[in-house]
Amino acid sequence: MRASSTIYQSPNKLVFRSTVLRQPCFTVTRTGICFPRQHLCRAEYVEPGVDGFNVRTVPATLLTAEKEEAKAVLNLFLRKQGLSNAVASRTINTSEHFIEHLILKLHAAHKTRYLVGRELSTLEIRDTLIPYLESLLEEHGEILVEMVENYPDPPGAEKPKISPTPVSPSLNSKKLKAMARVSEIGADGQLPPQVLYLVDLGLELDQIKLMARKFPAFAYYSLEGKIKPVVEFLLDLGVKRTDIPTILNKRPQLCGISLSENLIPTMIFLENLGVDKKQWAKVIYRFPALLTYSRQKVKATVEFLYELGLTAENIGKILTRCPHIISYSVEDNLRPTAEYFQSMGVDVAVLVYRAPQTFGLSIEANLKPLTEFFLGKGYTMAEIGTMASRYGALYTFSLEENIVPKWEYFLTMGYQKSELVKFPQFFGYSLEERIKPRYAQVKGSGAKLLLNQILSVSEADFNKVLKKRVKKMLDDQEEAASPSST
């Protein structure tokens, strides 16, 4: 089978050539299906004045997985510096050049691994990138975020510029060429066919240009050979036509993945791990990147979930409901978070099943501050562990924007603090739309209800319970006031 490639010539005159390698067939025992062979692109480049070749073997799917790993490491690092999850995510989303720079750092540090076709582990990626990020923090201090977002151009003239790796000058050129290609008007006065097709699907030209900027290869995908078959495949799975633009925006590289050799075998692989095949439309819409991760990455996460004691059925439900969990690093997120909650007496298997998104949070920036908040309010570690066990989503809420305002209102309600241990779901309800108005009704009636009786039922059931409790209260008062009771 032949492999085609586009040759880019950078200012350094790096000459790229493509060859085809083959990976062994992967067999799914349960179904007996043999996955088709994948093709890897071996990029060889020659720099003027350098004898011989530097060879890097980097499969497209592996490169995608490495980028996600690099983003996870950067996200964790930024949050350890005190950034909120929202700010860290925003920084990463606007720092494509820096992410590519981190990938090039990985390749430079581990080129012998790529020569023999071995994939880096999460731990190796972390151990390579974290020391480098720490050196940047020491060098740039409080303007680190600006430096990351503006890489390779530093935010201040006084700060020394980070030296990019030799191939980085070609990145801007690739992105500019890709953006120009998708917006080029042909001899017929029309945009390229694939662009017109995407516009018809609901994408705007500016969105398509941004997709080409994020992933330059997208600009070179043919309509009939790549884009249209993937779109039609997604529609056949039940994905809404109106959801296609969102999916392609999140993961344009999906269109570059072979249906027969990659996408479909990967889906079979995930189905055998428990993903509900009836839910593919929802899963892909939630997290299209799931289909672009290497099987080794997916298997590492699944094996860890088995290690926690989860059943195959529950793992399948987690992957279906929260496919994002595959993007969490086992060593940097899942394992440390599991150990943190285990130290509090939490059943971690139950927690990850109920709230898998908790395991993508930073221990230092998110988990510990909430624990320390409740300790400061007089709760014991065991009580906090009980709260986390009973309401897995508790730690996903913002301390400043959610927990603190509701706690302060709780103090005005006249309940014992132990009520929150019994019903930590209190923090999951809207303060203005549910907690305050319902409690105002209870207080105005003079009746007394438990927190869960006030909040966890529908409006109609709440009114029934309150009416019944008021009637009982009045009956008790009448009975106490009647002569026969004296």
- Residue ending a domain, choose from 150, 182, 201: 150
Residue 329 tokens read as: 């690093």
Q: Which two tokens stand for residue 281?
A: 């439309």
Which structural domain range is residue 144 located in?
60-150
**H helix or E strand, kind and range, residue 193:** helix 193-201
Number of domains observed in the structure of the chain:
2
Q: Which helix (H) or strand (E) holds 17?
A: strand 17-22
Residue 374 within any structural domain of the chain: no
Q: Mark whether 96 and 137 lie in a shared domain.
A: yes
Q: Is residue 164 part of a domain?
A: no
Distance CA 259, CA 278 (A): 18
Q: Which residues contact 346 (CB under 8 A, 6 or more apart)?
A: 385, 388, 389
| 146 belongs to a structural domain | yes
How many CA atoms within 13 Å lie on the side-chain side of 447? 26
Q: Across the strands, what pairs with 42?
A: 19, 57
- Give the list of residues 6+ apart from residue 58 with CB closer than 8 angstroms, or none: 40, 41, 43, 107, 114
Q: Which amino acid is at 361?
A: L
**pLDDT tens-place values along the chain, 486 residues long:** 434 333 333 333 333 333 333 333 333 333 333 333 333 333 333 323 323 324 344 566 567 777 888 888 888 888 777 677 777 787 888 888 888 888 888 887 776 655 555 566 666 787 788 878 877 776 666 577 777 877 776 544 343 444 444 444 455 788 889 999 999 998 889 999 999 999 999 999 999 998 998 889 999 999 999 999 999 999 999 999 999 999 999 899 899 888 998 899 999 999 998 899 999 999 999 999 898 888 888 899 999 999 999 999 999 999 999 999 998 989 989 999 999 999 999 999 999 999 999 998 989 999 999 999 999 999 999 999 999 999 999 999 999 999 999 999 999 999 999 999 999 999 999 999 999 999 999 999 999 999 999 999 999 999 999 999 998 888 777 777 766 655
Structure-token pair, residue 432: 């203005």
Is 18 a member of any domain?
Answer: no
In a domain, 102, yes or no: yes
Q: Is residue 122 part of a domain?
A: yes
Residue 16: inside a domain, yes or no? no
